[in-house]
Structure 1
Amino acid sequence: MNDRFPDEIDEALWDEACRRADAIRSFLKRNPDGATAADVSRLAVEMDVSQATAYRLVKLFRAGGTVLSLADRKRGRPEGHRTLDEKREEIVGTTIKKFYLKRTRPTISQLVRDVQTNCISAGLKPPHRRTVVARLKDIDLQKRAKRRGEQTIVKATTAVPGLFKAPRPLAVVQIDHTKADIFVVDEETREPLGRPWLTLAMDVCSRMVTGFYLTMEAPSRLSTSLCLLHSVFDKSAWLREREITEPWPVAGLRDIVHVDNGPDFRSRAFKRGCEDAGIAIEWRPPGEPHFGGHIERLIGTQMGRLHLLPGTTFSNPQELGEYNSKRHAALTLRELERYIALDIVGAYHQSIHSSLGRPPNAVWREHEGEIPLRLPQDRLRFWLTFLPEQERTLRPTGIHLFGLRYWSAALNTDVGRSDRRLLVKFDPRDMARIFVRRPSGNFVEARYADVTLPSVTLHEAITARRSLLAKGRREADTRAIVRTAIAQRELVEAATKKTAAARRSKASSSKSKVDDGGWGSLRGVDSSKPVPFVEDTD
């Protein structure tokens, strides 16, 4: 199909095309049942072209039926024509795939050098830079940008045909993860720990944040589940613990959750838990960025706010410059969590949203009376469904988990009655209590065996345990340990040698007694004298 329009054709070329069209129309009328070579030869003379060109023009006119189909195309090599031989084409394609389409983003100059090196190594003439660049242009721009991690190009080349809307609050909630653009420090040492992961949930209708979870661990079923639990339950107590006075009115089961195709969202426990509570899961369709666009924009907004904090990594190296994020890091994970919560309830929820033209909190309050507040019928069971679990043996001293010891009076009758390991559910955000499934099938709450201990997170408990082990290693006298080990080794070797020698001596003595009737050798002894009696002490 010709991609040009009649008014785009040069005047002289158009006139020539019209002349040829008239000649071919007359030719076809004269020869409705087919033409001989002589007829085509006369047509070629009339149009002042070669006989082969006449055949070609007749064929084009039959197919197109328009003057435009006869307009001369641009001279030169046809578009898409390739001059490289098959071997060099293969080298160029393979090098682009293996070397250029990587997230390390090598430059075109590096690619050209690599292609040329590979061709020379194969004994072939290297292609020109223009040829290599042409092959890059043959690759779809968005596909190329995705393989190289060029997100700016990906967004610029992605069509967003429409907006996704929800009819009412909690009809659709979107959940996603991101690595926070900031370093946090250890609670005790204040040394940099690393960059935490943030899991956010947002209501599509009102744009309210329904909940979040901050952790040092990579995205998993755990972070997804804890974010969902934070979204569903009332947050009053949670806010009081963090000394936050602004309200966060969002609570209740949502109808649908929108998530991406990550394995954490595909886990059996997460799927079954949602199904059990009547929450439908919809995974983001490939190639439809607007499906999760709301939560992605929210994440971008939250990361932008973190760029004001000490220890920020910003969004790209150009913004970072010479700023040393680790050296300037100042906030602990708990402090960053409180900062994010304050920002959500005190700033984001109260500010005018660009898409809504109103604050999210105002939209939520407006529809609050229309929202069917669905809460789990059995709140404890719903909560336990999404909590992580371990199996532990019930000892006389209680349940031991992550270096912490737990006890409940309800476990008294189970001690020593079964060898079966018990299922233990725990909340990583508060390790002061756990839930143990007894052999009867019922869950009981167990708390610290030492009731004076304060509540800590799982991360804090593991970090403290590592610190104690490290302290123990530092306090150990390594030289004394090595000296002792060598002395023990020498002792064992000497004892082994002594024992072996004694056994050989005993074996030799026993053999002599057997050979001489038990009296030893009489050679060289005066047999006329009596042999003295020797008592056998063995």
Structure 2
Amino acid sequence: MSDPFPDEIDEALWDEACRRADAIRGFLRRHPGGTTAGNVAWLAAELGLSQATAYRLVKLFRAGGTVLSLVDRKRGRPEGHRTLDEKREEIVRRTINASYLKRTRPTVSQLVRDVQTNCISAGLKPPHRRTIVARLEDIDLQKRARRRGEQKIVKATTAVPGAFGASRPLEVVQIDHTKADIFVVDEETRQPIGRPWLTLAMDICSRMVAGFYLTMDAPSRLSTSLCLLHSVFDKSAWLREREISEPWPVAGLPNTVHVDNGSDFRSRAFKRGCEDAGMAIEWRPPGEPRFGGHIERLIGTQMGKLHLLPGTTFSNEQELGEYDSKRHAALTLRELERYIALDIVGSYHQSIHSSLGRPPIAVWREHEGNIPLRLPQDRLRFWLTFLPEQERTMRPTGIHLFGLRYWSAALSADVGRSDRRLLVKYDPRDLARIFVRRPSGNFVEARYADVTLPSITLHEALTARRTLLAKGRREVDTRAIVRTALAQRELVDAATRKTAAARRGKASSKSKVDDRGWGSLRGVDSSKPVPFVEDTD
């Protein structure tokens, strides 16, 4: 069975694996020439493990290169992990929030006394001072300092405005979203369908655009993940598909991803995927937009270019004036995507950047030979980690998703074997194929059951379905439906009346026969024979 995805791992096991990964990465940087019994002993002591286990973990990490490869597969808590029972943990948490994280700045000793008093009052054994201090250290240092009003610590842990930067490419990549200042039109009808959202990734050192994603959907984990995937992988094939000949050399895993505090950047799957690949995540402090100045200036530059296009909304109402953005809209989402890509690789990358005094691509080329290019060791699994997913039942006809049917010969063995719903990963940019996790745990690629169908995007598929439904509704003759319903109602009423009348007539005829003298059996002893009277008439 294949390994689970990072977001399927127990929290305690994952945290321990991250701690091991950080220690082993530092160990491998310090000892690039190889391992010896002496330096592995130091690593074992740092991790609190035996030397044999340390050797095994180094070997696993070298082979896998991910946090996931270091997850303890044993049942129960990881070795060396200690925890209080739930009641005492809750008392410690509550007391820290109520008694310690205050502007009056109580001491740690006072906190320990408060925790011990609260535990004893609840009839519980108080935890040791070291345990309480460890819970304090679990709280982010800057968050703790802000709550306690410790401005020196806040300042020491906060980057100075304007000084945030990177010394080499892919050291820090910033990602952010914006609603594009332009209306786009439908592929078929050429009618305006709304303003798309643009997600951009930027390398801080070279100011190169690392990748982008354009969608009609609001910012989500999906748009963030697809932008990151576009940033990490080689873009040669992507450029060829859009008939763009200019180079876009940015590729590789960034050391740090710098993002704001949006919920899409804090999703469990996104965080785990980044951690598993060795990418740290830094969140911008809330309410301090200067920490995202680089990407925000890039967004402003890109929006300025869109103001030259038909259908632009400009930046504000004063600029817009009497211009009717919807009426003038002309570009589809696909055309706008190509326009933005052309502008990035053919104009922005080649122009002198005001902060660098040089074109971004020149800075990238200068460092290119020294960039420690890191790519995911298992490219497919890394890709699947960030793709959206749904669950579907395996039918005899295949997997049905978004009104499309998919099939793979590898799925034949699973038909009718289980009622279990299967995890399906898909790329909204290309619905020609999906990836299905079989009951065995392995993923298989499934393609259109109808191989003659062309590749389409999820947006195109959903739009086509809506168009068909709307067309079907327009083709409905409501008057004919009403006329038919009335005719059916009259038919039923007439049939009911005829049946009732026929039944009443049959009952009346029977009553007349019973009223004849000889025909009536009332008062006659049926046990005696009735004398025959001959009719003389």
Contact 2:513/2:519 (CA < 8 Å) preserved in 1? no
For residues 347-382 of structure 1, the C-alpha deviation after alignment (integer angstroms, 9 at most, x for no partner) is 101111000111110111111122111111111011
Given the two structures, how large is their TM-score scaled by the length of structure 2? 0.64
1:400 to partner: Cα distance: 1.1
> What are the within-5 Å matches in structure 2 for residues 343-354 of structure 1?
343-354=343-354
Structure 2 counterpart of 1:482? 482
1:187 to partner: Cα distance: 0.6
Q: SS state of the match for residue 264, structure 1? A: helix
2 CA distance for matches of 1:341 and 1:230?
12
Contact 1:163/1:290 (CA < 8 Å) preserved in 2? no
Structure 2 counterpart of 1:183? 183
Tell me if 1:257 matches 2:249.
Answer: no
2 CA distance for matches of 1:419 and 1:221?
29
> What are the within-5 Å matches in structure 2 for residues 357-372 of structure 1?
357-372=357-372
Q: SS state of the match for residue 463, structure 1? A: helix
Structure 2 counterpart of 1:125? none
Q: SS state of the match for residue 344, structure 1? A: helix
Distance 1:524 1:240, change over 3 A: closer
For residues 237-296 of structure 1, the C-alpha deviation after alignment (integer angstroms, 9 at most, x for no partner) is 000000000010000111111111111111111111111111111111124322110000
Tell me if 1:244 matches 2:241.
Answer: no
Contact 1:160/1:290 (CA < 8 Å) preserved in 2? no
2 CA distance for matches of 1:160 and 1:322?
43
1:440 to partner: Cα distance: 1.2
Contact 1:253/1:374 (CA < 8 Å) preserved in 2? yes
2 CA distance for matches of 1:482 and 1:220?
45
1 CA distance for matches of 2:513 and 2:429?
90
Contact 2:514/2:520 (CA < 8 Å) preserved in 1? no
Distance 1:522 1:261, change over 3 A: same
For residues 394-433 of structure 1, the C-alpha deviation after alignment (integer angstroms, 9 at most, x for no partner) is 2121111111111111111111111111111110000111
2 CA distance for matches of 1:334 and 1:525?
93
Structure 2 counterpart of 1:440? 440
| AA partner of residue 265 (structure 2) | F
Larger Rg: 1 or 2? 1
Distance 1:498 1:381, change over 3 A: farther
2 CA distance for matches of 1:270 and 1:180?
24
User: Size of the alignment, in residue pairs?
Assistant: 365
Q: SS state of the match for residue 198, structure 1? A: strand
2 CA distance for matches of 1:524 and 1:408?
81
For residues 55-81 of structure 1, the C-alpha deviation after alignment (integer angstroms, 9 at most, x for no partner) is xxxxxxxxxxxxxxxxxxxxxxxxxxx
Structure 2 counterpart of 1:466? 466
User: Quick one: higher RCO (CA 8 Å, sep 6+), 1 or 2?
Assistant: 2
Q: SS state of the match for residue 323, structure 1? A: coil
Structure 2 counterpart of 1:219? 219
Distance 1:161 1:173, change over 3 A: closer
> What are the within-5 Å matches in structure 2 for residues 398-409 of structure 1?
398-409=398-409
For residues 60-104 of structure 1, the C-alpha deviation after alignment (integer angstroms, 9 at most, x for no partner) is xxxxxxxxxxxxxxxxxxxxxxxxxxxxxxxxxxxxxxxxxxxxx
Q: SS state of the match for residue 374, structure 2? A: coil
Given the two structures, how large is their TM-score scaled by the length of structure 1? 0.64
Q: SS state of the match for residue 436, structure 1? A: strand
1:309 to partner: Cα distance: 0.6
For residues 186-209 of structure 1, the C-alpha deviation after alignment (integer angstroms, 9 at most, x for no partner) is 111111111100000001111110
Q: SS state of the match for residue 239, structure 1? A: helix
For residues 482-509 of structure 1, the C-alpha deviation after alignment (integer angstroms, 9 at most, x for no partner) is 2223333444566677788999999x99
Contact 2:197/2:218 (CA < 8 Å) preserved in 1? yes
1:468 to partner: Cα distance: 1.4
2 CA distance for matches of 1:374 and 1:520?
102
Greater displacement, 305-314 / 475-484 = 475-484
| AA partner of residue 309 (structure 1) | L
Structure 2 counterpart of 1:422? 422
1 CA distance for matches of 2:255 and 2:184?
35
For residues 156-184 of structure 1, the C-alpha deviation after alignment (integer angstroms, 9 at most, x for no partner) is xxx97432111211111100000000111
1:392 to partner: Cα distance: 1.2
Which structure 1 residue ranges, 5 or more long, are not aligned?
A: 1-158, 510-518, 534-538
Greater displacement, 269-278 / 339-348 = 269-278
> What are the within-5 Å matches in structure 2 for residues 137-536 of structure 1?
161-491=161-491, 526=517
Q: SS state of the match for residue 372, structure 1? A: coil
| AA partner of residue 268 (structure 1) | R
1:453 to partner: Cα distance: 1.0
Contact 2:182/2:312 (CA < 8 Å) preserved in 1? yes
Contact 1:160/1:288 (CA < 8 Å) preserved in 2? no
RMSD: 2.8
1 CA distance for matches of 2:176 and 2:453?
35
Contact 1:164/1:290 (CA < 8 Å) preserved in 2? no
The alignment-based identity, stated in percent, is 86
